[in-house]
Structure 1
Amino acid sequence: MDLPLRGIIPPVVTPLLNDNELDEQGIENLISHILEGGVHGIFLLGTTGEATSLRYKLREKFVRLACSLIGNKVPVMVGITDTSFDGSVEMAHVCQDAGADMVVIAPPYYVPISQVEMRCYLDDLVPRLSLPFLLYNMPSHTKLHMSVKTVEHAKELGALGVKDSSGDMQYLLSLIDAFRYAPDFSVITGTEIFIPETILQGGHGAIAGGANMFPRLFVDYYRSAVEKDYTKIDFLRRIVLKIYNTIYNVGTFTSRYTVGTKCALAALEICNDYVAHPLRQFDYAERNTIENYVEEIKEMIGKATFT
């Protein structure tokens, strides 16, 4: 695995038939679709993957199946954070056995914790890990917005980078600045619209949910920033904004990002759109709206010249 980690890494959805059964054909279709798009890595069991809604055996089955399909084509990282400390450790061992390359650690969810408690948590967890790790800042879901000091502590323990999904540009830039001279440490955005700014300011890439649907678009968006092709950045940003304003904005629930992404994948005939409880699939009218949006975005992409 080349360091620092760079590029577009989709946080893949978990294709399901129901709460207890994987959509195995959908998983195969999705991974093939993403790899054909030229992505630089794959992230399993993240927020977009509904990890916290899946029982342990289903998570394990998904990781093993996905890793077998991916092989050594790109690095694979897997989210292991759980409310149970031992649950995270056990999942890390599963990941190693399945052939994953690294694990992803976020603050344990539900109980609010302090920065000091998070650092102590890492002190206890990291020595028990069997794989390298990436830190994951997701304050909207975990109740903790990790300070730069906490990220620095994680780096001292061996972290290979941090994914920031706070949506806070000032914080993201502070991370880039803090680790600018750390050659093997990656600062990766989870906010897709920030991709050009992340790269141009010295960051390394994005864990971009939209790359489930349109992987080549996001790979090209990343490359345009690396190449400082501002005309192309502006053109592709309009398409990414279209995704934000359409697929991510259908319905009124805050879950619409995940539900919309799965619905769009169903419209693309890649996988099933079932979402695990407590989320709900879109109704007929919403699905029809998503299908129309997908066609509009495909048309916009068709006008772009991809390398």
Structure 2
Amino acid sequence: MQYKEISRRLRGSVAPVITPFNEDESIDFEKFAELINWQIDSGSHGISVTGTSGEPSSMTVEEREQVMEYACKIVNGRVPFIPGTGSVNHQETLRLTKVAEEMGADGALVIVPYYNKPNQHALYKHFKAVADSVTIPLILYNIPGRTAVNLHADTIAQLHEDCPNIIGVKESNKDFEHVNKVLLKCGRDFNLYSGIEVLCYPMLAIGGAGHISATSNVAPKEVAQLYNLWEAGDVKGAQDLHYHMLELNDVLFRDTNPAPAKAALAMLGKIKPVLRKPLDIPSKEIQQEIRETLISYNMLASDSHSLSN
């Protein structure tokens, strides 16, 4: 399999779509399909589900499989589909990644196991076993703020060397020195994605492949356009859009992701404001900030109201 050729297809804004729930916390598949179609119609270059924004840790393994399979059907090959298949549990990760391969996903996003705090050798063994179990491309997902351990650049480079199907990494890592070293050690054809909203533009500037940004749940057109402008060589346009998006990026992380994004989408009338416990909708004060920000971006009418908490 020509992984370098495949990796070029997986560049751009890959939208990490939230999982909408009904009032009884069951999955709202009708709204889910609408969100996926909205992302594609708005220009998102790829779709991911059951990553951090999708609340996978609140789902059973069977529910995650169901969500992945449904999303794959809705995407229907229109853009690359890269579900999140990582878990705190190694066997669950193997199972979900194999399911992604069997359903025809274009790749899988595999998070560093959270809570366990494995050392670098253990992380290497975990990811190598996952990579060896499938042939689809894998994108590692490094998010130290959630997992309590950082996947080192040397470890990523060794995995990339030993596993041809490990073609990239999503770095939700504010350490910009670290992400530079990832490309230095892995080579600049390695797909580096930003998972930190404020670093989406800077990572493109150092040779990144795109971004997997929670903000695209609320502003998919703009987040995709940032990549398009950079690819077209419009540096000034990309810079302007980067700064234009900062206030929205900021307010969408006033509380734990995806709570603010879900609140914003509920205000926009796209979903019900429901998260599964232990997460919950943001406070009335944060809701008001979100509402005012959406109004300032001309995304919401000024006579709209905040949600109940």
The corresponding residue for 1:295 is: 295
Q: Does 1:242 align with 2:284?
A: no
Structure 2: how far apart are the matches of 1:211 and 1:142?
Answer: 23
Corresponding position of 2:180: 173
Provide the rounded CA distance (Å) in 1 between the counterparts of 2:133 and 2:175.
32
C-alpha distance in structure 1 between counterparts of 2:283 and 2:197, whole Å = 27
Which residue number corresponds to residue 85 of structure 2? 80
Aligned to 2:219: 214
Taking structure 2 as the reference length, the TM-score comes to 0.88
Deviation at 1:56, TM superposition (A): 1.7
Give the match for residue 51 of structure 2: 46
The answer as to 2:279 corresponding to 1:279 is: yes
Shift of 1:297: 1.6
Partner Cα separation in structure 2 for residue 143 and residue 59 of structure 1: 23
Equivalent residue number for residue 306 of structure 2: none
**Which runs of structure 2 are paired with 1:1-307 in the superposition (5 Å)?**
2-4=6-8, 5-17=10-22, 21-129=26-134, 131-156=136-161, 157-158=163-164, 159-181=166-188, 183=189, 185-249=190-254, 254-255=255-256, 257-283=257-283, 286-298=286-298
Unaligned runs of 5+ in 2: 301-309
- CA gap of 1:45–1:209, structure 2 versus 1, over 3 A, is same
Rounded to whole Å, the distance in 2 between the matches of 1:110 and 1:285 is 30
Q: CA deviation at 1:18?
A: 5.1
Listed as ranges, the gaps of 5+ residues in structure 1 are: 301-307
The answer to whether the 8 Å contact 2:97/2:130 transfers is no
Structure 1 position 107, deviation (Å)? 2.0
Task: Give the whole-Å Cα distance in 1 for the aligned partners of 2:14 and 2:92.
Answer: 25
Q: Give the structure, 1 or 2, with the largest relative contact order (CA under 8 Å, sep 6 or more).
A: 1
Name whichever of 82-91 and 72-81 sits farther off. 82-91
Provide the C-alpha distance between the structure 2 equivalents of 1:123 and 1:9, rounded to a whole number of angstroms: 24
Contact 1:106 1:137 in 2 (8 A): yes
Larger deviation, residues 239-248 vs 258-267: 239-248
The Cα shift of 1:23 comes to: 1.1
> How far apart, CA to CA, are the structure 1 residues paired with 2:252 and 2:89?
34
State the identity %.
24
Query: How far apart, CA to CA, are the structure 1 residues paired with 2:285 and 2:205?
Result: 40
Rounded to whole Å, the distance in 2 between the matches of 1:40 and 1:223 is 10
Specify the code of the residue in structure 1 equivalent to 2:267: A
Q: 1:175 is paired with a residue of what secondary structure?
A: helix
- Between Structure 1 and Structure 2, how many residues are aligned? 293
Offset at 1:286?
4.3
Question: Which region of structure 1 is more displaced relative to structure 2, 96-105 or 209-218?
Answer: 96-105
Aligned residue in 1 for 2:303: none
In the alignment, is the contact (CA less than 8 A) between 2:25 and 2:274 conserved in 1?
no
Asked if the contact 1:83/1:108 (under 8 Å) is kept, the reply is yes
TM-score normalised per structure 1: 0.88
Q: Distance in 1 between matches of 2:201 and 2:92?
A: 36
Q: Tell me which moved more, 4-13 or 281-290.
A: 281-290
Shift of 1:231: 2.9
> What amino acid sits opposite 2:33 in the alignment?
E
Name the counterpart of 1:304: none
C-alpha contact 1:23 1:272 (8 A) present in aligned 2: no
Contact in 2 for aligned 1:193/1:241 (Cα 8 Å): yes
Q: Cα distance, 1:7 vs. partner?
A: 0.7
SS of equivalent to 1:21: coil
Q: Is the 8 A contact 2:19 2:50 kept in 1?
A: yes
Letter in 2 for 1:73: R
